[in-house]
Structure 1
């Protein structure tokens, strides 16, 4: 991020010490130091005052930092939301698979709709996650993994291969189906055992 470097550059260019700049901005010298070392960011009022003091546009001051600041805020918020959706989706699929055994062996036909109702949150969350992944241009498992760990996915995007992407998606879907069917079979077996 460049904002700290920008503040330091313009402060030095005007021959202000951190103390002098802090007095003009009505903040502590430590706050200026934190800004220059990228430990914290100035609020919008401080940014406007800084640009006014240095007689530069706000765009010049934060050039290159706006996308980084926006990504940092979005990534944290969206990553938490995506994690919640992932857990809801996983739990919904698990409950659906576990409910199939007892329901199939039941004499009541009305309760056959329960697995479909349990599947609705999983489908909604899966769709939401897919929309999010498309919006941030994440396609492969390795990109999703890197993104959730807060790493840069640009290098992985450059290495994308359509054929390997197809096989990766096919492998993920196949493994998921095998696990889902396995849990369903286990559920049916357990239901037969206890009934």
Structure 2
């Protein structure tokens, strides 16, 4: 992280030893050493004291770290959304391939197969929607840009928001139709080839 380098640089500009700086901000010399060698990160109170001591803004003190932190958070959210989407899709595929045989062989006991798979799929679909809500992702293009770690500029965002009222219903309708067609085909195959 850049803050360790910045602390060391500002400390040297002010001709302060690690011990001298430690006394000014009420920490130990070892703590200063740990910050400068990036073994630990200063808490908010210490960052404020450091910025006053060096007569710089917090933004200057943590310069470089803020962008890295944003990218780390965003990367984690991208990975989470990818993971949740895969789990949701696996649940949907499992439903697609197991529901008809479950009801065919188990009658209404097939609900014991259907309900957990449906709950699993709904749970992860909800998780995906929460991430989409956090980043205000409404259209396919916004989701695609997010998954690539990019954002749309203001004009592109306005254009995409104009598409939203008709794009989401079309995506949902397309998904339902594709699922229904696949389920019907699988049902025909099961009926044709199962005893």
CA shift in 2, pair 1:107/1:52, >3 Å = closer
What's the counterpart of residue 101 of structure 2? 102
The question of whether the paired residues in 1 share the 8 Å contact of 2:142 and 2:160 is answered with: no
The question of whether the paired residues in 2 share the 8 Å contact of 1:89 and 1:125 is answered with: yes
CA shift in 2, pair 1:161/1:26, >3 Å = closer
Shift of 1:184: 1.1
Give me the whole-angstrom Cα distance separating, in 1, the residues matched to 2:158 and 2:69: 23
What's the counterpart of residue 189 of structure 2? 190
Higher relative contact order (CA 8 A, sep 6+): 1
Kindly report structure 1 stretches of 4+ aligned residues shifted beyond 6 Å: 24-27
The question of whether the paired residues in 2 share the 8 Å contact of 1:101 and 1:189 is answered with: no
The question of whether the paired residues in 1 share the 8 Å contact of 2:91 and 2:117 is answered with: yes
Unaligned stretches of 5+ in structure 1?
15-23, 32-40
Give me the whole-angstrom Cα distance separating, in 1, the residues matched to 2:109 and 2:98: 14
The question of whether the paired residues in 2 share the 8 Å contact of 1:140 and 1:168 is answered with: yes
Give me the whole-angstrom Cα distance separating, in 1, the residues matched to 2:106 and 2:115: 18
The question of whether the paired residues in 2 share the 8 Å contact of 1:92 and 1:121 is answered with: yes
SS at match of 1:139: coil
Give me the whole-angstrom Cα distance separating, in 1, the residues matched to 2:96 and 2:108: 18
| RMSD across aligned positions (CA) | 3.7
Number of aligned pairs? Answer: 171
The question of whether the paired residues in 1 share the 8 Å contact of 2:91 and 2:120 is answered with: yes
Give me the whole-angstrom Cα distance separating, in 2, the residues matched to 1:181 and 1:104: 17
